[in-house]
Amino acid sequence: MVRSPVYLPLAELERECRFETLRRSGPGGQNRNKVETGVRFYHLSTGLVGEATESRRQIENRGAALERLRLLLALNLRNPPDFSEPFELGAARATLLELGFRWHSRLAGERIIASSESFDYAVLVAEFFDVYAAVDEELGVAAEILAVSSSQIVRLLSKRPQALEALNSLRVKRGLRRLRP
């Protein structure tokens, strides 16, 4: 199984990108208008772009742009695990451990412990969507394999609106109702 770039340390992910600085107009005075503090990362192999311009400090924008790129990678690249047939819950969970999924390390009982600011957030989102794809987009089955409730998954995805929107887009395509935070 080829690992997604979302698993890469930030320094390695940066090496897979083209980097550019930019300036933006708008409030912020001369510093914003004359100094290139905005940052954009182009992931060369996927064409995805992470950008940040809200801070007046380039280093802060650099970190924010990389995190946005990581989330885009998590939402757009699928590498679903291959669960053996006939489907068995214990075997599916064992498969995730064998593949090095980090999901189990962020559980406390049936709760997911992860801030949207943590490095693992994008990894957890990618792992959820990979499992979700592997079980034919059945939220309840994916939640059962990941040992959490569906509401815990929705709570995790709600921490970044585009993550929940990605799930809702898939649900709408199947004729299912949108989930709310």
CATH class of 5-76: alpha beta
pLDDT (0 to 100) of residue 34: 63
Q: How much is the pTM? A: 0.90
Residue spans per domain, the chain: 5-76, 89-173
pLDDT (0 to 100) of residue 86: 81
pLDDT (0 to 100) of residue 3: 76
pLDDT digits (tens, 9 = 90+) for 33-70: 567 888 999 999 999 999 998 888 889 999 999 999 99
Question: How many helices (H) and strands (E) in the chain?
Answer: 8, 5
3-state secondary structure of 162: helix
For 19, how many CA atoms within 13 A lie in the half-sphere containing its CB? 16
